[in-house]
Amino acid sequence: MNVDAKRSIEQDIAHHVHPQTNLRQHAEKGPTMITHGKGVFIYDSEGREIIDGFSGLGCVSLGYHNERLAEAAMRQMNTLPFAPTFYNRSHPRVAELGERLIGMAPGGMNRVMFQCSGSEANDTAIKLIWYANTARGEPQRRKIIGRIRGYHGNTIATVSLSGQPHMHAKFGLPLPEFKHTELPNYYRFHIDGESEEEFSARMARSFEELVLREGPETVAAFFAEPAISGGGALMPPKGYWEEMQAVIRKYGITFLVDEVVCGFGRTGNMWGAETWGLKPDMVSCAKALSAAFFPISALMFKDELYAEMMRNSDEVGVFGHGYTYAGHPVGAAVSLQALDIYDEIDLIGHVRKVSKRFLERCDAMQDHPLVAEVRGVGLFCGFELMRDAKARIPFDPAWKVGALVQDFAHDRGLYLRAIGDRISFMPPLIINEEEIDLATERFKGALDDAWAVVKNKI
């Protein structure tokens, strides 16, 4: 390790508070210091080359070091580095990006608002739903339903909506308006002999029972990712979305589809909503919108909701919401360039082409003694780790088997993410077949390394 890297780590330990991190462990061991990246590879301060098997945080769609995106940012910085979108002001790049997004959005969206993160987009959606319900004369419709292990952000409202217990603990959360329905993990939670379709129908019944217990007249919205990222790349079981959407429509519940991870090609279509036939009322997106080169997000919705917003604005005199950096000109310019690149290289076609190799190589690990189930779509795959796959007996949580696999993978040069004893594997969308082979070879080696430790405990 060179002196500069050592100094950076010392500075980090001394002053930088890390999100989603074991703070005691960080204070003792310090961070992995990533110094640069190129293509699907990142490099740490010790010189290790690591395949990014998690796309940063599910966002680095075009990999690292893209000159066109960097040049788009520089051009905009030299032209107009900042412009507010408050008080009737705008600028050409955000106007163009709004039209571009609405032209490609699923579900007949007509309006768009910009923010800096997926958390802010979903938080804004919650506010707009409450705002519109007030205009409709239904102010009591305030309850928002998410799913256990679902994830929609880290503001006070969105983390309350997210079904992540460790993000609620010690914060006095979730807030009382936020409720959670069951996690549709067929492998873990199906009843013996129950088909996927029967399981999905049971999940929808459970959701409907929650709506009825709370009172349909008080339920405002249901938020869901097409496939659950925060729960470990969990794919919906057969029939799930048909059953769930029937309940949503039955009770007039607003349906927000969170495309923050699934959007822009991750599932082999532009939107996860296309992959699973979802019909949203609102859509949030972020991450790959700018290929992670600039913090930007978007919330899209229909004219009907905008009309209710207009009514409140008429009464109050202003629409009292916004963020300083909403629709930032540099973010808009970078996002437009990213969308151009997606079209020019046929990113969706590329994902579909390499997905076959990716999923075949992932499925081949189904026979590993640590792995109980593998399910994926596009370049998005989840691995269920289980002590006894047939009997569905989990590992002792204290063994932290998922984290063990994650750490061994890093040692072998592959960045993965463990969510409990599930592994999420979602590389940059530009990954090629040779890199897929290398990544999955390293993944298999990490499973072998972890098994060598775990088998002695069983």
CATH number at residue 417: 3.90.1150.10
Q: Is 371 helix (H, G, I), strand (E, B) or coil?
A: strand
- The answer to the question of residue 390 being in a domain is yes
Q: Which residue has the tokens 């969706």?
A: 348
Asked whether residue 188 falls in the same domain as residue 273, the answer is yes
- The answer to the question of residue 279 being in a domain is yes
Asked whether residue 167 falls in the same domain as residue 227, the answer is yes
Q: State the amino acid at position 248 in one-letter form.
A: I
Asked whether residue 212 falls in the same domain as residue 334, the answer is yes
If one counts the domains in the chain, the total is 2
Asked whether residue 198 falls in the same domain as residue 338, the answer is yes
CB-count burial class (<10 Å; 0-12, 13-18, 19+) for 186: buried
Last residue of a domain, one of 344, 377, 403: 344
Beta strands 219-224; 143-147: pairing state? parallel
Last residue of a domain, one of 324, 344, 364: 344
- pLDDT tens, the chain, 458 aa long: 454 888 989 899 999 999 999 999 989 998 999 999 999 999 999 889 999 999 999 999 999 999 999 999 999 999 999 999 999 999 999 999 999 999 999 989 999 999 999 999 999 999 999 999 999 999 999 999 999 999 999 999 999 999 999 999 999 999 999 999 999 999 999 999 999 999 999 999 999 999 999 999 999 999 999 999 999 999 999 999 999 999 999 999 999 999 999 999 999 999 999 999 999 999 999 999 999 999 999 999 999 999 999 999 999 999 999 999 999 999 999 999 999 999 999 999 999 999 999 999 999 999 999 999 999 999 999 999 999 999 999 999 999 999 999 999 999 999 999 999 999 999 999 999 999 999 999 999 999 999 999 998 88
Asked whether residue 397 falls in the same domain as residue 286, the answer is no
State the pTM of this model.
0.95
- For 144, the domain range is 69-344
Nearest Cα neighbor of 69 from 338, 344, 264 is 338
- The answer to the question of residue 176 being in a domain is yes
Asked whether residue 235 falls in the same domain as residue 216, the answer is yes
Nearest Cα neighbor of 287 from 254, 302, 265, 255 is 265
- The answer to the question of residue 2 being in a domain is no
- Eight-class DSSP state of 56: H
Asked whether residue 279 falls in the same domain as residue 355, the answer is no
Last residue of a domain, one of 315, 344, 373: 344
Asked whether residue 118 falls in the same domain as residue 57, the answer is no
Q: Is 372 helix (H, G, I), strand (E, B) or coil?
A: strand
- Eight-class DSSP state of 260: T
Nearest Cα neighbor of 302 from 118, 122, 96, 108 is 108
- The answer to the question of residue 117 being in a domain is yes
Residue 254's DSSP bridge partners are: 221
Asked whether residue 214 falls in the same domain as residue 252, the answer is yes
Helix %, strand %, coil % for the chain, to 5? 45, 15, 35
Nearest Cα neighbor of 229 from 62, 56, 107 is 56
Asked whether residue 243 falls in the same domain as residue 375, the answer is no
- The answer to the question of residue 61 being in a domain is yes
Nearest Cα neighbor of 201 from 186, 179, 216, 180 is 186
Asked whether residue 338 falls in the same domain as residue 352, the answer is no
